[in-house]
Chains A and B, each alone.
Chain A
């Protein structure tokens, strides 16, 4: 494998950090400010894309920024797994940026400069997590993401936002300092390094089984962004944020950074072999099964569309951990692949929720009867996104769920297969009624007169693109599949 020392990963991470400064400078000129946002979004995606061929060819990029602690540099490294996540995140950021412009302008939101600047910092942190070469670097970007998203979550600056912001930080910052930090230090004290190494860094250290179990618990609890119960409460609360924030951060970036961090720990710190030998992977799968089922059940009861989506996200995130915890080739493939498939599906759904709000100021599912006939594109996209999350062909979600099911069979774990199937049914139960009501239920008399139309073009375009991508991923998953295979290859 040829690893190239290059500034490319630094540029990919740093472009939006520098961009944030320009966004702040362009405070009084909205058009210029939004141009900067779009420019850095496209620039970032192209930078990530430019590294793809090398990574697909089995190579990688590395750059050391500083020496922090003996054996633990501040280092960026691009490998298949990081590339996979960065590709998804940076592409969806372009869609989100376009969508943000449509959404924020349509609602004439306040403090847009702060919004765009925080967003730019957050995406830097997200790509930073993807390209981290060791656990400390990852932790650094993880915290940066937590802190930079606080102004976004509390954007409304009312009492509800204040409470939600508090909850958000308590869960996310509290667990990372309270659990992930000591876990990281224990690993460092045992192994003397924190580098992500395929197969893990603890396998040859003769570490006690009890310690490994403790570390796994600390890491899973410490990366609360993954929303595993009982550390999921922040996600529904964070729905108070403007919808583009919910879409991108709480559908893609923040939550998947949590999952990504846990997967990194399982694959490259603790090591699949070590976990398998202690049966800890299976213990983890059963633990997250509770989250999968419970979150889906709670989602059924939510009338607020965004909250229903949030609970759906909590359930789907645990799919990814479930797949990784199986520690079989198919299970791990499905788990990692679901990061991308769920991202495209869920962001579509959130975009739709926002578009509905922009067009009609409706937040509750019970108010949406007949709305689909007035907003056919939005609800059409919604249907596609929902089908992808449920795992129906011909949408991307089917592929990852297929791998997960095969993984459960390979691991000879019928109960897990049952969990997957039950959850899919539940997913259908909480999504399909929305689509049905929008298209087929009789509209309340009042709405026909108000003349609700589709949301602005800048909102419609991104959600159509992501919905089509969900569809396309069923037919062309090859690039992602190849990256995932490279990532989990021992």
Chain B
């Protein structure tokens, strides 16, 4: 009975997607019931999967009984299980807010929106568990195509942003597919474990290096690793709020996970990091540069959602650098940061979504006096901001701690990365205190004696997940020790 558990996680939102499409036409309330029900089911299943994996080790599940290497295999190692839980929890929280936003932004089209939304989540689950290189491509396309549509549902220039993303996303997918093609030619297999067992004999081959390069560039485009980030800011800031609360926390993070998966499950860390002299250093330096440039670009933004989008690009640099530093502390930091960054981004985008819901836009200038108008929203936003800056005891501090520690341990060549992290923290402080200042000081009424603006909080559907995510940031921070020991360290890929 428990053996089918991993598939339940994936199947629940997929089945619900089709039912929502039909039932939503008849009764609009069913959209909320079905989406939340399916995701709750997924969350519980994901938690059970995680518990099983931690207790009994990696689960290998053959879909439909077709044996690997011919059939599709799901491989749930501790890291995949962690990703499953993360995706499920974030999606569940985001959905509450998305339901409220969608009602406002897409009246009458909620059932269509949530059909795509649920398929996307299902695809994300698929990415986390698949053990087949080609199947991974399929899942990647499922998530991408649904995302294109979800972004295009936004107003104004959203279709254009989506089109831009279609082009970049397709190029990324092509790169990935080419890489898989190379590997298939070399090994005759598409199963990751199978490829990994065949490849070592050919590590000297230039074709293997080409395949690796194609795969890496493919996922880097998908995760918006600067300079391949061009599509992201528009896509994330112009998308409807109901879309961005889901994709902003998860899409880039799952791509970082895919990078780790490729390095550790298809190739080997020895090959990826150390076979080609200089490549490791170059990528860490590129990550440092990505952090600095993206932070600088974030400074230039005047819209909250756009600013957050650039911060996401900078955070991708954190994680890519952390993985490529190739030591235990940095890898711990990178994986912890996947979790933390997903939650911080969720918290901030939920806040942005609540602000858009009330104010109509997310321009920084219109946020004056917001601490009085939406005190709870802004309190949660402040905690999210502190976490981004890296103020203890919020979660963001601890992943940054491990990343910087990894940088220090790696030696003098990685100091650029350490410096970039510190500078980016400072820039984040400036970014967020600029907003806090605008929202804290009232527009017009000098000296604060003026008539207070009426209190007008976001609705409970948006507020409750927001507050939960803010509390989670504090809780994860305070529980960082046990969390790292019992979840992150076991999830570190073998060999670390």
Asked, given contacts A68-B393, A68-B398, whether A173 binds B429 with beta carbons under 8 Å apart, the answer is yes
A47 and B54 alpha carbons, distance in the complex (Å)? 44
Asked, given contacts A147-B386, A177-B422, A178-B426, whether A69 binds B409 with beta carbons under 8 Å apart, the answer is no
> In chain A, what residue has the closest Cβ to B389?
A177
Interface size on B, residues (CB 8 A): 33
A157 touches B447 (CB 8 A): yes
Chain A residues closer than 8 Å to B446, beta-carbon distance: 157-159
B481 touches A181 (CB 8 A): no
A166 touches B437 (CB 8 A): yes
Partner among B391, B442, B481 whose Cβ is within 8 Å of the Cβ of A147: B391
Query: Does residue A427 face the partner (Cβ distance < 8 Å to B)?
Result: no
Chain B residues closer than 8 Å to A182, beta-carbon distance: 404, 418, 422
Chain B residues closer than 8 Å to A154, beta-carbon distance: 440-441
Stretch at the interface among A15-23, A135-143, A231-239: A135-143
Partner among A73, A147, A156 whose Cβ is within 8 Å of the Cβ of B447: A156
Asked, given contacts A69-B481, A165-B437, whether A177 binds B425 with beta carbons under 8 Å apart, the answer is yes
B422 touches A157 (CB 8 A): no
- Which positions in B face A, CB cutoff 8 Å? 386, 389-393, 398, 401, 404-405, 408-409, 418, 422, 425-426, 429, 433, 437, 440-442, 446-449, 478-482, 484-485
Query: Does residue A303 face the partner (Cβ distance < 8 Å to B)?
Result: no
Shortest beta-carbon distance, A76 to chain B, in Å? 13
Chain A residues closer than 8 Å to B386, beta-carbon distance: 147
Chain B residues closer than 8 Å to A69, beta-carbon distance: 398, 401, 480-481, 484
B401 touches A185 (CB 8 A): yes
Q: List 21 A-B contacts (CB under 8 A).
A: A66-B478, A66-B481, A67-B480, A69-B401, A69-B481, A70-B484, A110-B448, A111-B448, A143-B391, A143-B392, A151-B440, A154-B440, A154-B441, A156-B447, A169-B429, A169-B433, A173-B433, A174-B426, A177-B429, A181-B404, A181-B422
Asked, given contacts A74-B393, A147-B386, A174-B429, whether A67 binds B408 with beta carbons under 8 Å apart, the answer is no
Say what secondary structure dominates the interface of chain A: helix
B479 touches A66 (CB 8 A): yes
Interface residues in A213-260 (C-beta closer than 8 Å to B): none
Asked, given contacts A157-B441, A157-B442, A189-B409, whether A110 binds B449 with beta carbons under 8 Å apart, the answer is yes
Chain B residues closer than 8 Å to A189, beta-carbon distance: 405, 408-409
Partner among B390, B408, B447 whose Cβ is within 8 Å of the Cβ of A177: B390
A185 and B417 alpha carbons, distance in the complex (Å)? 14
Query: Does residue A188 face the partner (Cβ distance < 8 Å to B)?
Result: yes
A68 touches B408 (CB 8 A): no
Shortest beta-carbon distance, A110 to chain B, in Å? 5
Chain A residues closer than 8 Å to B437, beta-carbon distance: 162, 165-166
Task: Kindly supply a per-residue 1/0 record for chain A positions 89-118, scoring 1 wherever the CB is within 8 Å of any chain B CB and 0 otherwise.
Answer: 000000000000000000000110000000
Query: Does residue A278 face the partner (Cβ distance < 8 Å to B)?
Result: no
Chain B residues closer than 8 Å to A110, beta-carbon distance: 447-449
A186 touches B408 (CB 8 A): yes
Shortest beta-carbon distance, B402 to chain A, in Å? 8
Chain A residues closer than 8 Å to B426, beta-carbon distance: 174, 177-178
4 shortest interchain CB distances as A-B pairs = A67-B481, A157-B448, A140-B392, A189-B408
Chain B residues closer than 8 Å to A66, beta-carbon distance: 478-481
Asked, given contacts A136-B392, A157-B442, whether A73 binds B405 with beta carbons under 8 Å apart, the answer is no
A57 and B482 alpha carbons, distance in the complex (Å)? 36
Shortest beta-carbon distance, B3 to chain A, in Å? 35
A182 and B418 alpha carbons, distance in the complex (Å)? 9
A210 and B408 alpha carbons, distance in the complex (Å)? 16
Shortest beta-carbon distance, B372 to chain A, in Å? 10
Shortest beta-carbon distance, B452 to chain A, in Å? 10
A158 and B422 alpha carbons, distance in the complex (Å)? 31
B404 touches A185 (CB 8 A): yes
Task: Kindly supply a per-residue 1/0 record for chain A positions 72-96, scoring 1 wherever the CB is within 8 Å of any chain B CB and 0 otherwise.
Answer: 0110000000000000000000000
Chain A residues closer than 8 Å to B401, beta-carbon distance: 69, 185
A162 touches B441 (CB 8 A): yes
Shortest beta-carbon distance, B447 to chain A, in Å? 6
A189 and B329 alpha carbons, distance in the complex (Å)? 10
A157 and B442 alpha carbons, distance in the complex (Å)? 8
